[in-house]
Every structure is written in C-alpha cells, then in structure tokens.
Amino acid sequence: MLTNEIIEDYIKILESELVPAMGCTEPIALAYGGARAREVLGQMPEKVIAKCSGNIIKNVRCVTIPNSKGLVGIEAGVLLGIAGGNAQKQMEVLEDVADEDIEKAKDMLKKGVCKVEFLDSSSVLHIILELYTEEHSAVVEIRDGHTNITSIRKDGKELLEGAALVEHDDTDERKVILNMENIKEFADTVELSKVQHLIERQITCNMAIANEGMKGGYGLGLGKLLVESYPDTTLNQMKAYAAAGSEARMGGCDLPVIINSGSGNQGIASSVPVVVYARIKQVDQETLYRSLVFSNLLTIYQKTYIGKLIYQKTYIGKLSAFCGAVSASCASGAALTYMVGGTLDQIKMTVENTLANIPGIICDGAKISCAAKIATSLDAAIMAMKNKVYAPYTGILQEDTPETISCVGYIGKEGMKQTDKEILKIMIEHNE
C-alpha cells in the first residue's frame, strides 16, 4: 500500500513534468534564455554568443519556431526570445510575440548579431547565452533542464547567489521511488481530484494540436495521409493523430503541448493514442484519466529510471541518441493494456515486447520525421498487447521488466554516447 508521502511525491512528479510548452522544447529553451538575458541586460544587445551542447544543436537546427512566421534555427530561437519573448511564461515564452518583434529578430539575423559556438559539456542539455553592448554584458546559463537557470551574470558579477542551489529541483530525487508496481497502484487508487486538472489540460492541449495536424498543413501531412491511405482501424487512427500532433508541433504550430520528460513529442505519444483509443471504444472518463496517469508515469519512469539490479544510476535522461518516442509509445501501449483491465504481468509483457522490438531507433534531431517514428513505435507497442512475450535474454531482455528498462537506459545514456557524437558530426559537416 502506498504511503501518503509516496502519493504526494507522485503527484509532484506529474506536476513537474506535465507542463505546457509551445513548439519544440530546445528552441524554446533558447528563446527563454534569450528573453531572460535581455531582461538582465536591460536593453537590446549588439552582439550575442550562443554556446550550445551537441544535443541542443541537434534538436534545434531543423524545427520551425512557433510564432515566428517560419523562422528556423538556433540564431532565430535566441534572437526571437531577445526581441519579443516573455521570460515569465517560461516554456510559453513566445506566446505574445508580435509582428514587430519578428521583424526585429529578422533584422538582427541579417546583421549576423548572433554567433553559435559548440559547448563541449558533460551535460547534454547545456546553454550559455552571452549578450553584449559596448558598455555592458549579461550571461545566462541553462543546464540539465529546459528552464533550469544555474547562473546569471551582469557585467561579470554573479546575480544568482549559490546559483545551482537556488535553482535546484528535487524532482529527480523523488523519481527514485518510481517502479511499475507503485505506478499501477497509484493509477488505480489516486483521488482523481488531485490530478484531474493535469490530465484534463493534457487531453485538451494535445488533442487540439493533433486535430490541427490532421488538417494536413504541416510537414508531409502524415496523419491525414495515414487515414486516407490505410484501413480505418483503431490502430491506424491512433497512429494518425499522434503523428499529426508531432508534425504540427515540429512544423511551427503555435498551439501549446503538454510535455512529458521535457519533450512535446513524448507528451503527445504518451497521451494522444490513449485518448483516441478511449474515444473509439467509448471508455468511461475515469478509466481514461487513470490510464493517462499510468502512461505518463511509465514514460517518466523509463526516461529517469535509476537501476538497482544491474547498472547503478542508469537512465536515458531528457536528451540522448535514443529516440524518446520509443519510451513514450511503449508507455502508451502499456496504458492500453491497463485500460482494458490487463494484469501487471500483461502490462509488463507489453513493455518487454516493445523494447525487444525497437530499442535501436536513433534520435537524429527534432524534426518533421519524428512523426513517422512515433507511428512506427506505436505499431510495435500496440502489436505487443498479447499474452505472448519474448523469453528472457532474447537480445537485451532480462529476467524482469525493471532490469530490461535499466539495460535500455544504459544503452541510451552510456552506450550511445559515441553514436550521438557521430550523428551531430554528420549533421554539422553535411550542412556546411
């Protein structure tokens, strides 16, 4: 039985991770940092240096920035945040950008105000923005979280006393208590009034952008293409709406997404298929809400799992060479098994079969084609909803599901480090 402390920690984890964001989260992080740095500087800069870790560069270069009229890239994200961003809105920093702000950002782009430098850092999510005028400077550092400012300096003086401590978030420490048994018990028993506002907001926001994407105006129009080209099955509808939401988000749609583990695509993949399935099958509201609680927590668990059996402190993290759509779609499939009354063993089978099937999908940056990866991952997850499971030690599968998740985490975080470097190298060299 869950203690009151564990219940409250689980609620706090959901509150921390299920937050709204406009657009792809990495360019939004840059815009947020730019807006905050401009506040500190107190005026428009004449020169900007954006130092970015490899995964930031990888995830920003190909996505359209929302409320930008089609702007793409690191420089555009930083400068739009400087020109018109509202740092108080954090991951919705660009919500109030006006036409004149966009023109101002475009003008700074033409003048080459912003220069990008590679930041060789042990942190995969690491941004340092330096803004200069002739007389003053402002520096904002973001590390390990999209809005986690760890240092603010003006004219060389640190303004965040005990910077890292001030901005410290103990959410990750709380996540140590996550495990599949507790996640299921929490989803089964939590008073819905304590999480309902989070889940309802997720349904509203993520289905809104999915519906927008289904109009076919973003990317390849994959969602619309799927429903027009393939049989009208529940699986195809789930894939179509999830892919459509991702395409719209990557294509610059200004509708907010409720993210999961720092990712809008993971927020979409862990929620939209579950909602679509529930609506088609006319599942009652309470069951849908509890299924979404389960899916969200399972996604978070996979992304931050701290191994106890095989590898210590092994987790994928927010950014890596491992495609997060696999984790989120795996959680969606497991949530469907949960929704139809599956046992914990059956739920674990879904997870095991999915991770046995597609653990090798790489993340080669945030972009339109993420939608196709979500659709592919959902195929694997949904097809795994059977009372059959691969035997232990088939490939990387272990004796039980937590061990398997730990192995996948180790591969994603440690084993694919060099892969990540090579992906970035290819993307940079072939873009010159």
The architecture of the domain spanning 20-166 is: 2-Layer Sandwich (3.30)
Q: Where are the domains of the chain?
A: 20-166, 171-429
Task: In whole angstroms, give the CA distance from residue 132 to residue 46.
Answer: 6
- Determine the Cα–Cα distance for residues 305 and 307; give it in Å rounded to an integer: 6
Q: 20-166 and 171-429 share one CATH topology?
A: no
Which residues, 6 or more positions from 284, have their beta carbon under 8 angstroms from its beta carbon?
Answer: none
Residue 302's nearest CA partner among 263, 342, 267, 261 is 261
Least Cα distance to 205 among 301, 292, 82, 315 occurs for 292
User: Cβ contacts of residue 229 below 8 Å, gap of 6+?
Assistant: none
For residue 296 the two structure tokens come to 């969200």
The tens-digit pLDDT sequence of the chain (432 residues) is: 899 999 999 999 999 999 999 888 889 999 999 999 999 999 999 999 999 998 898 888 878 898 999 899 999 999 999 999 999 999 999 999 999 999 999 999 999 999 999 998 888 899 999 999 999 999 999 998 899 999 999 999 999 865 444 444 445 566 677 889 999 999 999 999 999 999 999 999 999 999 999 998 888 899 999 999 988 999 999 999 999 999 998 888 989 999 998 888 899 999 999 999 999 999 999 999 999 999 999 999 887 754 444 344 445 656 666 677 788 888 999 999 999 999 998 898 888 888 887 777 777 666 677 777 888 878 777 776 666 777 777 777 787 777 777 777 777 667 777 777 777 777 766 555
Select from 309, 304, 272 the least CA-distant residue to 288: 272
**Domain 171-429, architecture per CATH:** Orthogonal Bundle (1.10)
Question: CA 296 → CA 91, 117, 165, distances in Å?
Answer: 19, 35, 28
Cα angle value 107/110/111 (rounded, 5°): 90
Q: Which residue has the tokens 């749609």?
A: 253
pLDDT of residue 166: 41
- In angstroms, rounded to a whole number, what is the distance separating the alpha carbons of residues 240 and 247? 10
Which pLDDT score is estimated for 172?
56
* Sheet with 137-143: strands ordered across: 114-118, 47-52, 126-132, 137-143, 149-154, 157-158
Residue 165 pLDDT: 42
Q: Tokens standing for 202?
A: 């997720």
Cβ atoms 167, 161 nearer than 8 A: no
Using CA atoms, how far residue 384 sits from 274, 333, 348, 380, 389, in Å, is 15, 8, 10, 6, 8
Name residue 314's beta-bridge partners.
Answer: none
Specify the pLDDT at position 219. 86
Tell me which long-range contacts 387-393 makes (C-beta under 8 A, separation of at least 24).
Answer: 387/346, 387/349, 388/349, 388/353, 389/349, 389/352, 389/353, 390/352, 390/353, 390/356
Of 191, 207, 304, nearest to 258 by C-alpha is: 207
